[in-house]
Homo-oligomer: A and B are copies of this chain.
Amino acid sequence: DRPLAFIAGPCQMESRDHALETAEALKTIAAHLGIGLVYKSSFDKANRTSASGARGIGLDRALPVFAEIRETIGLPVLTDVHETWQCAPVAEVVDILQIPAFLCRQTDLLAAAAATGRAVNVKKGQFLAPWDMRHVVDKLAGFGGANILVTERGASFGYNTLVTDMRSLPLLARFGAPVIFDATHSVQQPGGLGSASGGQREFVPVLARAAVAVGVAGVFIETHPDPDSAPSDGPNMVAIRDLPELIEMLLAFDRLAKARPVTLA
């Protein structure tokens, strides 16, 4: 089995400088630790709790920066898409298109993403049972998606709370696509700050090591030079300076987990 991969970066693209600086820092960490790392950032936070929340620099300004990160820094890039028309232009400059959890059942968006030929990472909706992701994966495959990833990011548990059901990881693995654990949004408290979502950063290593122990292909961690000043998801992002220690810890659990894999009948 292949070693643990990482999808990491700031929640939203704040500026070209900020993006290049964080990509450079992550490139250094990845090289140092010998890991595969995909740079993640959103050009548009299309579903902020409140309309007054910062949405990022937008598609037009972000695409050249994604291209620059790929070409100059040499990291593969992932970003999320929200409407069908975005898929083709975004696919020009990124390696992986991501389908947001709220949109995981939008058939046309899945079709447009699959049609680009790029890899597609689809997040499991907070409202979806693990077994129902089979249909989402089948939709992508049916539309010609060749390289599909599925991401666990927590399930609705009462109001303003998510819970991660670790049973979902081997259940998702049954569909044949690599399973990613999103350690950032699993500790989100939707709407928990009134006009923005809260989060519990201290649980990122807790849930991440549990998921890695169960067995996943990769971990998704949003990270930022200064999370508390980030325009979105600050409460659940990890500081870049804390990332190497977190990754090293997860790699140790990954080696053990993959030496003793757990599989369902």
Contact = CB atoms under 8 A, between A and B. Distances in A.
Interface stretch (A47-55, A68-76, A219-227, A230-238): A47-55
A258 interface: no
Interface in A31-74: 46-51, 55
A98 to B, nearest CB: 15
A129 interface: yes
A215 to B, nearest CB: 9
A15 interface: no
Contacts of A138: 50-51
Contact of A105 (B49, B127, B166): B49
Interface stretch (A1-9, A21-29, A115-123, A154-162): A154-162
A15 to B, nearest CB: 21
**Which residue among A127, A142, A207 has the maximum number of chain B CB atoms within 10 Å of its CB?**
A127
A163 interface: yes
B213 A209 contact: yes
A106 B252 contact: no
Interface residues of A, number: 69
A83 B108 contact: yes
B51 A207 contact: no
A199 interface: no
A192 to B, nearest CB: 9
A17 B225 CA distance: 61
Contacts of A130: 159
Given A46-B107, A129-B160, A135-B51, A206 B170 contact: yes
Given A50-B139, A105-B102, A191-B132, A203 B167 contact: yes
Given A47-B105, A156-B155, A253 B166 contact: no
A88 to B, nearest CB: 14
10 contacts: A102-B106, A102-B125, A128-B190, A155-B156, A157-B159, A158-B158, A166-B207, A169-B206, A210-B211, A210-B213
The 5 tightest CB contacts between A and B, nearest first, are: A158-B158, A213-B213, A129-B159, A210-B210, A132-B191
Given A158-B158, A167-B200, A206-B264, 8 more contacts: A47-B106, A47-B107, A50-B138, A51-B143, A103-B106, A135-B195, A158-B161, A163-B163
